[in-house]
Amino acid sequence: MTEASPGATTIPRRILGVALRTARERAGKTQQDAADAVDQSVLTVRRIEQGRVPTAAGKVDNLGHLYGMPAQTREALKALARETKSTAQRWWHAYGDVVPAWFEVFAALEQIANQERCWDPLLINGLLQDDGYMAQAISATWPQAAEEAAARAELRRSRQELLTRPFTPLQLDAIVAEPVLAVELPEGVMRAQLWKLLRATELPNVTLRVVPLSAGLHQASSTAPFTLLDFPDDGGTLAAPTTLYVENRAGAVYSEAPTEVEHFEDAWNALEAAALSPEHTIELLSHRMKELADREA
């Protein structure tokens, strides 16, 4: 397993850092307040929030108390803190392990990314889902109690706000397979979803493309859904490395390892070559929407 260079961020460190920084800001506390609570310098607190250094679970607990975090959240972050001692560039997060399933690891990383590239051969990406489609996708993919489904939907809707936040909205480049647009759903659901996609393409920071059936087989034909997250420079330091995210029903792999990221960068390039242009994608969405409207009339 590849090791990270000294001082580099690793994925658990970066996730813990953004969680602590967000909690501190919501609590109205300064970095000096945090430094006093854990008997450390402001520089150390800053490096913890940047994901540059490992963090002791006890210090995370102290910060959690300072920020008014509930006990369940503090326990989750303490478990994550124990993972920050690792310098590996690849991290497997099993649902229910290390961090409980309700603590959404990917969403924490997404908050600090400035660009997201995603390939979705099976579903519309969560950032672009209409409420009706979202409800269908969640109930089909994650059979669960109504309260859990509602919480998952609420998180997904909050993630969508990244596309329209007033400061540096997330740049989303999404590529979807054409069969995703032809899935049979209750009347009106797919039509509303297509309208949501068309409205999203009006945002300057969203690029949507479809890989048509006519593209045939290509380099990414056997590639599972994946996401590449890119991050901005942080205060003049080098940008955090591109992070690969690949999810399945058991959990998710997060990787910064150059060889793995390069493999999926190649797959992304193949998808871009196979996909319709954004303009032709809009035409396809509009045509599909008209077909559904005529059929459902």
**What is this structure's pTM?**
0.85
CA-nearest of 199, 266, 198, 194 to 228 is: 266
Mind listing the pLDDT tens digit for each residue in 149-195?
Answer: 888 888 899 899 999 998 889 999 999 999 999 999 999 999 999 99
Q: Which of 5, 95, 199 is nearest to 106 (CA)?
A: 95
Cβ distance 68 to 22 under 8 Å?
no
Q: CA-to-CA distance for 162 and 158, rounded, in angstroms?
A: 8
What is the structure's pLDDT at 1? Answer: 33
Portion of the chain with pLDDT greater than 70, in percent: 93
pLDDT of 7 reads 44
Residues of the chain falling short of pLDDT 50: 1-7, 236-237
Q: Which domains does the chain have, with CATH numbers?
A: 1-88 (1.10.260.40), 89-296 (3.30.870)
Residue 75 to residue 118: CA distance in whole angstroms: 31
Give pLDDT, residue 262: 96
So what's the pLDDT on residue 105? 82
Cite the DSSP H helix spans in 161-277: 189-200, 258-274
